A = this chain, B = another copy of it.
């Protein structure tokens, strides 16, 4: 969430809301990014191994990411309305795993949620911490559709002295600008 790294609680489930997948939306995403016939052609999809049109796994993930970002921004607004300073989310160095467990068919409503499974200070970006975010969605029958671990940087409220020195050094000519130039963890 958009909280400072120090304030982020581990192993607390954060609901991200629901999304119903229509055939139109499944086909639209399929035509853009995953034009396999079982994502774009309802008739032909009946004869696929899925037995019907299904959403691209990338579509299922992208909607979940959108819901996570919406939740981050809503949380920032909530904190500001309470007079608190929200944190700052940074780039993502990547995905540690993503599992597609069950097909998403037209009319399915997915319930998304996330948990910060663990966190640690970044070794490459001084003043930033790393979050290991577990995302998942279940369908209207409670069946797990996908689950995965996405890694993300988030700003620390208090930058350790060593990190502050490293940041200052990194801004000197010839030493490069560390932040935004290196995506290592």
Contacts and interface: CB of A to CB of B under 8 A. Distances in A.
Interface of A: 32-36, 48-51, 56-58, 61-63, 65-66, 69-70, 72-73, 89-103, 146, 148, 179-180, 183
A94 B93 contact: no
Q: Chain copies in the assembly?
A: 2
Given A94-B97, A94-B148, A100-B183, 19 more contacts: A33-B62, A33-B63, A33-B65, A34-B62, A35-B66, A36-B69, A36-B89, A48-B180, A49-B90, A57-B92, A62-B62, A91-B103, A92-B100, A94-B99, A95-B97, A96-B97, A98-B98, A99-B183, A101-B183
Contacts of A35: 66, 69-70, 73
Among A61, A66, A102, find the residue whose CB has the most chain B CB atoms closer than 10 A: A66
A57 B183 CA distance: 12
B92 A33 contact: no
A49 B58 CA distance: 26
Contacts of A93: 99-100
